[in-house]
Chain A
Amino acid sequence: MWKTIIRRVLVMIPQLFVLSLLIFIMAKFMPGDPFTGMITPDTDPARIEELRQEAGFYDPWYQQYFNWIMNAANGDFGKSYTYKVAVADLIGDRALNTLWLSLLSVFLLYLIAIPLGVLAGRYQNSFLDKIVVLYSFISYAIPVFVLALIFLFFFGYKLQWFPTSGTVDIKYDSGTIGYLWSKIYHILLPAITFALLGTTGVIQYLRTEVIDAKSMDYVRTARSKGIPINKVYTKHIFRNSLLPIAAFLGFTITGLLGGSIFIETIFGYPGMGQLFIQSISGRDYSVITALVMLFGFTTLLGSLLSDIIMSIVDPRIRID
């Protein structure tokens, strides 16, 4: 297994190289540059030119690419033109925020979706099943920004149950219980919003899998042993039905870093999604390229992680 993992990681190097080249070229093709926004009627065009020279804008593209990739390999993605801080630091802060929010979101998502999916599948065509299917279709049809705005308005603004923006209350010192609680309190509403709308896939997959599994031969064998029906569900049907969900788990985990642009923007939560959209509109090349590189890397990692998870839960799949 370790051999496979190392081999897979080595294969990732050429994949990352191609990815970085594509990202670099596409970033270069984007119109405008960070200095475009600085131009005012009083700006001396010569000064702008000078800045561009300094930033290396007129070097040949391969030279620029080489500089960038070598620095990136050392963890230096340059400085953000907008925030004037090192990109690595900027992303580091945001990534942590996003990670907390995403972890809670995904936890709530599975907490809602797994029981509903299993119950809907078990009691197929019952009233409960119809309600669950209805819920999953409605939640799939509602755009995230609509529900996010509604929740923000009612629970944040009208009822004032939840804070409407930020990651933590400033009155707490870092490291205290109050600080931790305040952090969780701030991510609760965005996480619930995300979880409620993200359940469709998991519910539908599980429901279908449970319905399929019910008529499987091994379930009939289990029933012929005289095992109580609840045990048949927990020991035989449930685990087999979770396989497709497990197949996505790697991507889900690494995908957590990507954050949600809508949720973060609407709830004023400074995470990766928000950073990404801001860096694009601000032509903040160094941040964009670093983020896309990171997302690409986590996707590759996610597929590896999925394979490892699958090989753990399904004995028929062995990676060696």
Chain B
Amino acid sequence: MSALTLKLRCAPAMRLDLSSLVPGRLAGMSRGEIERLEVGGRRHPLKVGDCFEVSGEAGDSIIFEGGSDQFDYVGAAHAGGNILVDGDAGAYAARRMKAGDLEIRGNAGVCLASNMRGGTVKVGGSAGAHIGRPKPGEKDGMAGGAVIVQGDTDDYPGERMRRGILFVRGRLGKFAGARMMGGTIFAEQGLSAGAGIQMRRGTLIGPQLEAPLATFVDCGRHDLLILKIMARYWLKALGDAAPPPLTIPPRRLMGDMASLGKGEILLSGA
């Protein structure tokens, strides 16, 4: 059985809601039923068949051949299996995702992994602002799983994050971990200004930080055992995509003292 493949016919002229195109929702559907699913457009409703050439069978895997920054809600509530977007994705990719894998080979739009609960998201390019941000009325941002971004992120990555890991191979935008309540944000190329603002708990890790907030206090360099446990766990869970272990004891900044103050920024640079 070949994987369900949705080949983009042409660049969409409007935003598409692709939340229905996850393996769990398509289970048992015929190709015709899938083609008749609505994917957005209130004034001019669009169906899957209008936007994509559909081939293969519904199963554990979905492949989007071609992407667009108009692809909203890719992998929303994804609960198992694999989704591959061979291109960009729009807003709210992996929104409330629970399990499985989502790979976006291009860039991701705003609010990636909003209120995500589990699974793994890989973004080949960069990610837009407000990674993990909850919608109005929701308490938690990203609350589990792993998000791995090869490029940089826009501002407010990990907003109101509670659990899981956001690993950015590039640089984090401003105000990383704003109002964070737990979890880990790891930036291989460093953190920008405003990192950890109003964070209560959680960990930000990076080689250096541009303009630390005055409400963070320097606790010195420490060899923290928990980092070894985290590194071993990530290696087991993420394999080659895991963050690299720190080579020297990081400098620990605690804060935000204007909030609960139990968060930390670990600076691993010399």
* A-B complex is real: no
